[in-house]
Amino acid sequence: MTGTKDISFTKMTGTGNDFIVFDNRKAFFSGEETDFFARVCRRRVSVGADGVLLVEEGQSAPVRMRYFNSDGREAAMCGNGARCAGFFARAKKCVDADTFLLEASDGVHLLRVNGNEVSLKMRKPEGFRSGYGILRESGFVEGGFVDTGVPHYVIFVQDVDEVAVEKVAPFYRDHRVFPQGVNVDFVERTGEDRIRVRTYERGVEGETLSCGTGCVASTLFAARTFGYRSPVTVVTRGGDLTVGFDDALEDVFLTGRVEIVYEGVLPMTLETG
């Protein structure tokens, strides 16, 4: 037999990167609800979002975030998602302080909530590599690969508005040099401390208005390749983020605005009996 249960949710956005957030402190969701997560993320026919966030009690931190892409599959990390989860945890009084630790699949992160501005300390970037020699388009300049919680391939371009992201990016996203697939970031340098970024995200399989880990990856390659100094303003189609970093490119902070869009309930089919 089957039945339905109304599940409360919160729709949130971090500079245009939008999420459906569930308070999962009572462990209602196991994380195996792939079809349900994918279904509620579909735009025009459901709530619509880039992904789902489960906010839970942590084991090594007061709060734990689990992130699921819009295909319903769990991913290691999402920078904007973590900032939204942290804001949610503070707003719902899961924590009492404005500065606290948040656990994610890629480790424990420091979070600071200041009104609607949320700052997240990223995991130490790993796997910097350049020189793949796979660029096909004239005018593109390779930054390279780095894992900032999820893998990214950074490409510098003259004008991000002129890039047909959804046509160009899949070639790199699925290229054989990235066996697990990769997010693709197109970066335009607009000043000594300012860049513009558009990101094609795997799992979403399309461009998002903002990608926190992508903004970090893009900034780090701007620093490595062109000597950018901290902090750097990153302009996305969803808003501005700030990336701060040390000279070794190891201590990295992502800061930007977070908002609750609305709250509601969703019916979920349950097996009974």
- Pairing mode of beta strands 63-69, 151-156: unpaired
Single out the catalytic residue among 78, 84, 94, 215: 78
Report the distance separating Cα 186 and Cα 257, nearest Å: 22
DSSP one-letter string for 66-128: EEEETTS-EES--HHHHHHHHHHHHHTTS-SSSEEEEEETTEEEEEEEETTEEEEEPPPPEEE
Residue closest to 109 by CA, chosen among 149, 73, 54 = 149
Single out the catalytic residue among 41, 84, 94, 211: 211
Range list of H helices, the chain:
34-41, 79-91, 165-173, 212-226
**Phi first, then psi: what are they for 90, rounded to 5°?**
-70, -40
Indicate the SS3 state at residue 217. helix
In the beta sheet, which residues pair with residue 14?
17, 258
Report the distance separating Cα 143 and Cα 156, nearest Å: 6
Q: Which two tokens stand for residue 121?
A: 């300390």
Active site residue 215: no
Active site residue 94: no
259 CB-contact burial (10 Å; exposed 0-12 / middle 13-18 / buried 19+): middle
Report the distance separating Cα 88 and Cα 101, nearest Å: 13
Q: Give catalytic residue positions.
A: 78, 211
